[in-house]
Each structure stands twice: as structure tokens, then as C-alpha cells.
Amino acid sequence: MCGIVGIYNFKGNVEKHDLYKMLKQIEHRGPDYKNVFLDKNIGLGHNLLKIQDISNLSHQPYVFNNLVIVYNGEIYNFQEIKAELKTKGYTFLSYGDTEVVAKSFDYWGLDAVKKFNGFFSIAIYNKEKKSISLIRDRVGIKPLYYYIDSDRLIFSSEIKSIFSDDTICKNINLDTILLSFSTNLWLPYYNTFFEKIEMLEPGTIIIFNKNGIQKKYKYFKPSINIKYKKEKNAIILFKESMKKSIKYKSLSKFQIATFLSGGIDSSIITKEYSDLNNRIIDSFTIYYKERENKDLKHAESLTKKEKIRHHKILVKPENINMQTLDEVIFHMEELLMDKVYISDYLNYKAAKEEGFRVILNGQGSDELWLGYIKIWNIYKFVENNFNKKMLIDSYFKKNIVFKEKLSNYSKNILLNILDEYISNNILNGYQKEYENYTIYAIKTILHNLLLQEDKLSMAHSIECRVPFVDDNKMLELGLTIDSNLKLFDKKEKYILRKAYEKILPKNIIQRNKYPFPEPPNKYDSVIKLLCKNNWENIINNKIISYLIDTKKYSKLDYYNPKELWWLLNIYRFTEIFN
């Protein structure tokens, strides 16, 4: 796990100090080593977080023949690929996956990416062709951003690194903020919160030359292709695939722990990882004051049964403060659409303090296995022959933050924004609506949650691995099992429950799905106080005034707790990235 940067100047040479300025902004992604490569008008940089190969043989930028690569991620099947390349005459000096990645591209070209099982963002400079290729993994586990104009291409693992070039304007994307009011976490993966800052889409390769974008294409596009309709086969395949995925996830020279929410996803991961080890493993669970902590109780039922060392992380009201909020926004580079971001950030912080470099996380299961079916109201429209107007009027407008408080500017453009959003993300062309919504979830909320895990883990120099979706077989299985087996007998994630009903504690198997818990309502008083202490700055904030009718709704008491959270977020976001 690392951070990568690069510059392709179309009209002049690249300066080494500009690359190091970019690397400085993301040194949290790789504190162990940094280096750059320069070839006149092209430069690449890399921050290293050592996970597998702790020698100096995998340092990047990595040069082999005509190729120079910088790479962020893990290729779990690199040993199998290495063995295949040895039959082609390649030799290897290192023990990690970086050398394998470089030599794979040397032999197979860009098609090599189809062989990779893992998660990654990769930049390849071809010295002969004078081209740079950017590549992102199948579902967008590792981020990669770029900015391009007539003078240069600049790319990085994080946006803040691109902004180390003072000539690039930090213009806030009002459309993205307004869309987030309606969609919450279900934002599409092509939106960033800054104008002209593009995010490379998952499963995409884009090639740049001196004239700009030469070619852009998808090497992977999530699609439903039903192969398995029998329950017994699906259960066997799921258990086999999960065990293999967890075995791959155990590759590390450093300690690994799990995040355990007490739900079935993280419980499966924790149980399988515990069974794989001949030692006591560690898990981390968040809980709050002043509430019934169902997640903690469920988690404890597993940790006590399996004798797992359980780290219980208490998130207190005082943890929600301006300093922590600013830190999380700085690392996320977007608005925090709920308070869970802070809890997640503190969980990774605790794991870092205990010496862990790798965390196994259950993200991705809900999207592939219909875990949200009873949580998000949008699924109530599944049985209907919905159309755009019905969705906009009955769901998006009804659930939008601020509602009548929106400015005329916001109201005038909202319909067009939502129309485009629905066309690009919800209407996916499948006969079964649950299949439409699976693809919809992969293209929106899954991407956002994976982005959240990447940014908040890397803020503490931790690699987050997600066994449900960072393994090709697990991803393929989720896209090829009939949705009638995912939702059966009024239970979501039916196959997961059946596969582990005799392995996990009964209370975990039988519990209903509910969202990862936000801090309880009492914590809202802390947010209200933060708003009160900064109210003049909030209500006079230029972006807020564009989006909200702050002249009519000028007093603090006009806003409910959820709206205050969003106002505080926008205010701090615009101050941090001013």
C-alpha cells in the first residue's frame, strides 16, 4: 500500500521538487521510503508503506526495460503470475509483487491487468512511446485522481497532492454537493467535490501522450450473469471462495487485525482469519456511551467463543471536535455524509497505536448480497415499474437534506442533476430489479464506502483489505448467483447465513441487518455547539449561501441536527481547501 504521483508536462520539463511537494502531501500513505523518476518532461513519484517485501528490492518508481511503474495496492496472486513468467524466461530478484507487476506489463502489455487478483492503482510510463497509462482496479478500492489542461497532466492517489501546484484552482463542485444532498452515500464514482479534478473510474485504463488523452477504455464492467441457482452449490462455492480470499489476505510481514462490527460479514472474516492462524488474533469494535450497543454485544459473542483479543474502542462525545472533524475532512477530501466517518477514523487510529499495518474489513458484502434491502428506502421502489419522475418526486426530493431551505439556484438545477444521475446509475437494463440495484450499489455506495476505508486507513498508514470484493472469485460469485438465493425466506444475505449457520454464534446468524451505528442523538448537542460557536462564519459562507436560502433561514434554530451536521461539514470543507 502506497501513494503515487506523476506529472506529464506538454510544454516544458518536470522539476524534481514539484514531485517531492506532491509526495509530501501524501506521505501518510507511505512513510517508509520515497523516491522519484525524471525523464525531462515526465516525472513519477512514490511513497512506500512496506507490507510484503521489507527489503529494498521493491522500491519504486520501478524501472524495467522501457517501462517505469508506480503502483499502489496488492496483487494477491503474484506468486502464480511469477511462476508463469519464469516459464517465459523472466528472472526475479525481489520477494514482493512490484517486480511481478512490471514484468507482467512488459510481457502481456496492458492486458496484464486482467490477470491481477487484488486491488490497485497503477501508472506506467512507456519511455519508447512517451506515454503514461493510468489503471484502476475493478471496483475502485484504490483511488486515483488526475487533472489535465493544455499544459500538463498531473495525477495522484489523493487530490491534495494535485493541489500542491498553486496554479490549479480549488473550485468547489456545487453540482456534486447538491447531488449529495439527495443521494447521500450513493454518489456516483465519476464525481469529485472539485471542478476539473477527475477520478479515474474503476476497471478503467486511460492512456496519455503529448497531445493529451490518447485512449480510454474499460477492461472490466460489473454485470450480472446468472450461473448458480441451486442453494447447495451456492453455499459450497461461497465457503470455498471466502476461505481462499482470507488466505490471500493473510500475506503480510506485519501484524493483521480485523474490524468486527458484530454483523455477519465481519464475523465471517474474523472467524475465517482466526481459523487460519495458530495464534490469538486481534479485532477492533466501536461502541458509544449512552446507548444500547448491539454491535458490541454481538461482537463479544464471537470473540469470547473464539478467544480473540478484543479491542473495544469507545467513541465519546468529546471526540467529535473541530480538530478531529478537520483531520477527517482533510483526509477524505469530500463532505462527511454521516458521523460514522469520525468513528471509523478513530478505529483506525486505535489500530495504528496497537502496531497494526493491515486491517481486514467487511465492506462490499451488502452491495453484492442485497444486505441493504431493508435499510435504504430506495429498495421499496423495486416492485414498481419505476420511472425517473416517480423516483425523483417520491424518493430523492422527499429524502433530500434541507428540502424547502434550498436556494432558488439549487431548486432550478436539481431536476437536471437527478435526471442525469438516474440515467447513468439506476437504469441498468436488467429484467430483475434486484439485479439493477446490485449494479447501482456497486457503481455508487460501494465505491464511496471503499473510498472511505482507503482514505481513513491510509491516514494512519494502514492497509485496509476487503475480502468480499478485492478477490476476483468473490466478486464474480456475487455477480453470478441468482438474487432469489441472496434474498430468501424474508432474510437478506441468505447464502451467507446458511453457509455459516453452524459455525458462527446463533445470535449473529439470526440478527437483522442494520446500518453501522452513528453516534447517538446526545452527540448532536456537541455538533450544535460547534455550529453555534461558528454560526456567523457558517451562515455567511459563500458556498452555503449559494446552495441554501440563508437570508430566509438565518438562525441556528431553523435547522435540524442532520442539517447542522451538513452545514458544519461544508463550512469546514471550504475552509480546509480554500
**How far is the C-alpha of 3 from the C-alpha of 28, rounded, in Å?**
8
Q: Which amino acid is at 34?
A: K
Tell me, letter by letter, the H, E, C secondary structure of 306-330. Answer: HCCEEEEEEECHHHCCHHHHHHHHH
Cα distances (Å, whole numbers) of residue 334 to 156, 176, 186, 434, 473: 16, 10, 14, 29, 31
| Cα angle for residues 70, 72, 78 (degrees, 5° grid) | 95
561 exposure class (CB count in 10 Å sphere: 0-12, 13-18, 19+): middle
Cβ pair 370, 487 in contact under 8 A: yes
Which of these is catalytic: 2, 169, 464, 531?
A: 2
DSSP helix/strand/coil, 139: coil
| Cα angle for residues 229, 234, 239 (degrees, 5° grid) | 170
**39 bridge partner residues:** 42
SS3 content of the chain, % helix, strand, coil (to 5): 45, 20, 35
Type and span of the H or E element at 123: strand 118-126
- What sign does the CA torsion over 235, 444, 47, 577 have? negative
**How far is the C-alpha of 27 from the C-alpha of 15, rounded, in Å?**
19
**How far is the C-alpha of 351 from the C-alpha of 282, rounded, in Å?**
10
- HSE-up (13 A, CA, CB side) for residue 90: 22
**How far is the C-alpha of 56 from the C-alpha of 392, rounded, in Å?**
55
531 catalytic per annotation: no
Is the backbone peptide bond immediately before 61 cis, with ω within 30 degrees of 0? yes
Q: Which residue has the cell 450499489?
A: 441
DSSP state of 552: T
**How far is the C-alpha of 90 from the C-alpha of 252, rounded, in Å?**
25
| Long-range interactions of 318-322: CB distance < 8 A, separation 24+ | 318/526, 319/346, 320/519, 320/523, 320/526, 320/527, 320/530, 321/526, 321/530, 322/530, 322/572
- Is 97 annotated in some ligand binding site? yes
Locate 333 and state its grid cell.
Answer: 477530501
**Residues marked as binding for L-glutamine?**
97
Which residues are annotated as catalytic?
Answer: 2
**Residues marked as binding?**
97, 286
**Residues marked as binding for ATP?**
286
